[in-house]
Structure formats: structure tokens, C-alpha cells
Structure 1
């Protein structure tokens, strides 16, 4: 996640009923004898787990069930995020307020990251992001399969908006094996009729197939997200990240919205100047509206300010 030469110490946190399972994970990690793994510590206390962390990855929450959308569990997950805030404010924030190398990633819906941002004034807003890299990777994989190339030949797709079924997977500025995606797949109606809906509904399809939400692919995407954030995106490339909107592309400032970003020196910046046609802009407005509605739902939840 942090490169081939960076040793790591893992702080694994879970709820008390999962304590034994967490210890089992610790044992397996130790048994793998991973060369960069310098230590594994398990906790059921947020306060203890948070001390000294450089990268905090929050993956907890109430999972959605088959047939549910993200917004169906929004209120519950907002409460989960808020439930840890008091302790986080006392432990993580003093570190984050001093060092710009510290980061928080929520592997969860955009609005949960917004809740954390709004209620954690000690954490710089740019240090809080959410995971849309999973959707980005799904889009890359779909294009690669359709074009008959490995996914590594696909670059600069974009996930706009929410990590939900309203997201807009956009290939207008992407390339495959050095050729524009739309030119490579010219005349293929799949780009409009199948690609977008497949990426939008991929999580639901996996949930239906295995009875559980994405696991391995989500974890891999977390690693990709943090690595590019901390070590930088490859030259000439961008990735998709849920970041705090500054108003770019007409999106309401303050929302946590997925944009194309470039990363350098541990900082991200939104790619500017991309031309979007009216259908694309309409899709951005649709996913923005959902995020505005989710924000109102979060505001209506007890304790969300």
C-alpha cells in the first residue's frame, strides 16, 4: 500500500464481540511472514487503537442487504461515524492537526465522509476522503475486458459523484492502449447501454451473487487509493477519489464528491478543464442531487450538525 520498501505496523480495531475473530486475523497475518509487516496489534478500544496512527482507514458500518441502496443505511452509518467522533477528536485529531502526512480514508459512502468532515474541525478537510477507487477499478476492468486488453492498458476513466447507483462512470477522456476509449470501441453501443449500468450496479451484483458485499476488491482498492494519495499518481494519469468539492464543474462546495484527481507529495488536486457534454452534465447533476438529499438525511439524524 505504501510502496515496496515501507514497513508498516497495523492497528486492527473491531467491536468487542469480534475480539476472537480479530485475534485470528492477527495470527494469520503473523503466519504469512510478510517482509514489510513490522507488527500487528488488535484493539476493541478506539482510543487505544488511534494513538500514533499515520493513516486511518475506517471500514466499519452497517452493511446493506440485497435489494438495498446506500441511502437505505445512511442514517445508521452516520450514527456509526458519529459514535466514534468524541474519542477520535481526543486521539487522532491532535496528530492530524500537526502533521500533514496523516490521512483519513472512509471506505464507505460519500456522505459518511461529509459527516466526519463537518464534525471534526481539527482534521483538515483535504485529509478526509472516501473510496470511489473501487468503482474506478471496476470501470477499468470492464473496458479492458471489452477491448480485449489487460486492465493495465486502460487509463483515465472517471467516476463522478456518489459511491452509489447514481455515479457517472465516464470514459470520454480515457484511453486504452494509447487510443481514446471511444475510438477503440467506436460503434459499440455497450458504452452507453451496458457499461455505465454495469459499473453502477456492480456492487449490487456481487452482493446478490455471494450474499455479502465486495471484500477482496474493496480492500485492493483501498490499497490503490492510499498508495496513489501518499506516493503520487503516475505521470499523465489521474484516478477517481471522493474529495471535498471546491465548486469545480459546478458541484456544490463542501459536498464529498468523486472527481478525477492527480496526487503529488501527499496532496490531491482536482483535474480541471475537462469538457463535458450536456448528457454528462445532466448525470453529474443527478448524482449531486442524491448527495444533497443524503446530506439532508444526515442532518436529520440525531447528533449530526
Structure 2
């Protein structure tokens, strides 16, 4: 019994005709068997060269046909290409094909589409067998509890990606973490492959692809800010070492919380040497959403109708809220347009003094008021902010929409290099891109310089070395700035 092997490119019309002839003979000729091998066009040449090298054959085009003696084994016997096979079946079986070229081309296109669909299905199931490792540090925070369902239900990474979830809360009672683990497992989510918990940094972030850091440090009773900073610096340096040691080299690290986000992100970035600096980001999206909500109340629209509010600077501390590019849609006025029609926010605000005088105080007091009312941290809005940024990081932000993000500065907008600074970006192709084409005024640049110097002072207060040439003011001016920074945290407009 002889078995014929027919191999070719998925989009090859000669392979399509050879395949149909071989199928016909397989159904109508006793002891005639055929095995087919289809290769993608981009993979064909390499595959063919390896096959010919292995068997000592010389062949260049698609298709290639050879015989295998099924009962005896051993090396196959090369028959040749399309013409060789057609001559063979005509001579041995008296069979000829009158298939027209147009039909051959049509079948070749259908073969190619079917092959691509099969490859997509294969990729889909392969992805399911390799779950994405997601680590959350600060797992007992309210934000984590609100974030987990969206991480494992396909909402962030897509319906084709299974995840393994690893929860870390340093020095937390293990029983509490295990109880949290049981709650997650009880959700029985189809994309959740595994859940683990741990309360030490030993082997933390093993094979991590996504790392979400939610650990916050606030001064406890009778503790100075400097002592709190020392504790935070030590902890985040240890986190960074674990990330550098065990996480994948392309891991993406996202930092969120209520306090000194820029410095935390900077510490992780500086001490995790093996990971690209662009893979560390701080999230001002929660604050951005709060500003949009306040503007929406003033404009009598939904918060989602306010776009392109830019948060510059040192997240949660000294920031500049830039409304010059902000736009609002669905605003009731004499001018109406299609759903995508929008107008400048500053032009629609009737009370201009509000943005200059009272808005600053409302932004400062907004989060503390809600925290006092609910008597816990604002986990829901923080989780929504993280979910949104993560999804955009993998699947791009909405076209034309500006996103505020704390990222490493390389001198854009005259901001000093090597500091984490919140600025406008867009997500595209799995990366964030700073929108350097935006024009800003000299007044704005001066405000950004002030914030940049505060960030440099933060590094000094946390015993990170800063070269004197990096500071744009004298030591006396730095001292004065330090005193002012300790008195209050500024919000500019």
C-alpha cells in the first residue's frame, strides 16, 4: 500500500488542484492514500528547505509530492511537483483533470482563508494553555477587591486570555489572605486558571507579566513624614529587587494609590534594572476622573462627556490641571451637532472665576469628603482607573483622546529628564506615546518647572542621590522650596 504526501502553500493554486485530484483518487482507487500538509506562505520556503535537506532532495516550488511505503517505513521517495504528479496519475491511473485556472485560483483563496482561521483557532487555544501571570501587591486594599473581577473576566485582557492571579500583602495574616483566595475561587470565573496568596516577599512576582502595586504608606500617630518616607523607600526597594529577580523582562508595572505615586514608581524603576523604564507607570486616572466629574456637574452633562483633561506633575501632591485642551460633548446650548461634536470646556463654563478660585479647593476636598462619608479608601474609582489604563495599554486608547499618565521624562516640554512626571499620552501598539506636539504656554512651563523641582526634592528627602546640576535653583532656593512643600501641597490651574 502506497501513501502519497502532498504539501504546499495555503494560497497556491497548483496545490489546490493537486489536492483535489489526490482526494478523488483516494476515494476511487483501492489502496491509494493521501496525507496533506499545508504551510502558511511566509513559512513555506523555510519548511521546504529543511525538508529537502533532511531527505537529500532538490525542490523549489509548491507543491511537493512524495511517496511513503506505509508497511515498510524508511525514507520517502520524491515524486516531484505539480506537473510530475499530474503525469504520474495520468500514466498509472489514466486520470486527467480539466479544472480551469479561475477555479484553481478560487479554491486557493478559500484554502488560504480556511488555513488562517485554523491558525487563529490554534493560537487561541495555545493562549489558553499559557495563562498570563498577574501579581497584585497590596492585595487586601479595597481597590484590589474591586479590581479582581475585571482582571479575570476578559474585560481587560480579552476573552481569549486565561490568567493566573497572585496576591501579595506583606506581613498580613495568612488566614485572611486564604479567606480572600477562597472568595475568588468561589466566583468560578472561566478565565481564571489559578489563585495564590502570600504574605512575604520571598519569590514574589515569579514569572509576572503584569504587576499592580497598591501599597500605600501614611504616617501613623507620632511618626514623622521623614520616618514614613524611609519605611516606604525600604519597602519599595525590596519590591523592585524581587521584580528584577523574578518577573519577566517585559513585565508591565502599574502603581496606584493615594500618596507619593511618582516617587514610588521612580524607586521601582531605578531598582529593577532588567525591565525597560517605559514599563513603569503611575496612574493619575482616578484624579482625572474626579476632575471630570466636577466639571460635568457644572456643565450638567455626564462625566464621560468630558474629554482631554490633562493632569500634569506630581500625582496627588503638586499638580497642574490643564483645561485648555478639554472638550465637552452633549452640552445643551444653541449649537448642536452629531454625538461626536464637542466644544471647549473653558468656553462653556459660565462662571470663569470658579476655575481660578474655587475649583482648586473642591478638587482638594473631593476625595477626603467621600472617604469620610464611606469610612474607607475609595477602591471602586481606583479599580476602574487601573482597569481602564491596563486595557488601553494592551488594546490602545480611544483615537484622538488624551490620557494623563505618570511616565519617565526624557526632557519633553522642558521637564527635566529621569523623573516620573504626569503628562498627556496616547496608547498605541502596546506602548504609550507622549503627545509632544501639544503647545503649552510659558506660564504652564513655569508651573511644571516648580513641580519638577519638588519631585527632585522628594528624591533627596528619600536619600536618593541627585546631582547639583540637575536642580535649576540655588541651595537657598531649594531650602525655601522644601519649607513651602512641607507646609502645603499645591494644585494649579
TM-score range (shorter-chain normalised) is 0.7 to 0.9
Q: Which residue of 1 aligns with 2:183?
A: 28
1:91 maps to 2:246: yes
1 CA distance for matches of 2:220 and 2:370?
12
Q: Which residue of 1 aligns with 2:165?
A: 10
What do residues 118-139 of structure 1 show as CA deviations (whole Å, max 9, x unaligned)? 2222111101111211111112
1:145 maps to 2:297: yes
Shift of 1:248: 0.8
Greater Cα shift, 110-119 or 272-281:
272-281
Q: 1:122 aligns with which of 258, 268, 274?
A: 274
Distance change >3 Å, CA 143–CA 208, structure 1 → 2? same
| TM-score of the aligned structures, taking structure 2 as reference length | 0.55
1:107 maps to 2:256: yes
1:59 maps to 2:211: no
Could you say which structure has the larger radius of gyration?
Answer: 2
1:262 maps to 2:426: yes
1:283 maps to 2:435: no
Distance change >3 Å, CA 124–CA 21, structure 1 → 2? same
Q: Which residue of 1 aligns with 2:126?
A: none
1 CA distance for matches of 2:173 and 2:396?
35
Please tell me the root mean square deviation across aligned C-alpha atoms, in Å.
Answer: 2.6
2 CA distance for matches of 1:130 and 1:298?
18
1 CA distance for matches of 2:458 and 2:321?
20
Shift of 1:107: 1.7
2 CA distance for matches of 1:22 and 1:290?
37
Shift of 1:90: 1.6
What do residues 91-133 of structure 1 show as CA deviations (whole Å, max 9, x unaligned)? 11xx21xx4xx20112241011111222222111101111211
Secondary structure of the equivalent of 2:218? coil
1:38 maps to 2:211: no
Distance change >3 Å, CA 64–CA 204, structure 1 → 2? farther
Does the CA-based 8 Å contact 1:70-1:164 persist in structure 2?
Answer: no
2 CA distance for matches of 1:154 and 1:233?
15
2 CA distance for matches of 1:69 and 1:285?
27
Q: Which residue of 2 aligns with 1:165?
A: 317
Greater Cα shift, 157-166 or 210-219:
210-219
2 CA distance for matches of 1:70 and 1:148?
40
| TM-score of the aligned structures, taking structure 1 as reference length | 0.86
Does the CA-based 8 Å contact 1:74-1:294 persist in structure 2?
Answer: no
2 CA distance for matches of 1:185 and 1:37?
46
Does the CA-based 8 Å contact 2:308-2:325 persist in structure 1?
Answer: yes
Distance change >3 Å, CA 243–CA 62, structure 1 → 2? same
Does the CA-based 8 Å contact 2:405-2:424 persist in structure 1?
Answer: yes
Shift of 1:65: 6.2
Distance change >3 Å, CA 152–CA 3, structure 1 → 2? farther
Distance change >3 Å, CA 143–CA 120, structure 1 → 2? same
1:226 maps to 2:390: yes
Shift of 1:212: 4.1
Distance change >3 Å, CA 70–CA 260, structure 1 → 2? farther
Distance change >3 Å, CA 165–CA 50, structure 1 → 2? closer
1 CA distance for matches of 2:418 and 2:224?
23
Shift of 1:211: 4.9
Does the CA-based 8 Å contact 1:63-1:73 persist in structure 2?
Answer: yes
Shift of 1:87: 2.8
Q: Which residue of 1 aligns with 2:435?
A: 271
Greater Cα shift, 289-298 or 4-13:
4-13
Greater Cα shift, 170-179 or 195-204:
195-204
Shift of 1:70: 8.5
Secondary structure of the equivalent of 1:111? helix
| Structure ranking higher on relative contact order (CA contacts 8 Å, 6+ apart) | 1
Shift of 1:75: 3.0
Greater Cα shift, 289-298 or 254-263:
289-298
Distance change >3 Å, CA 247–CA 127, structure 1 → 2? same
2 CA distance for matches of 1:142 and 1:36?
37
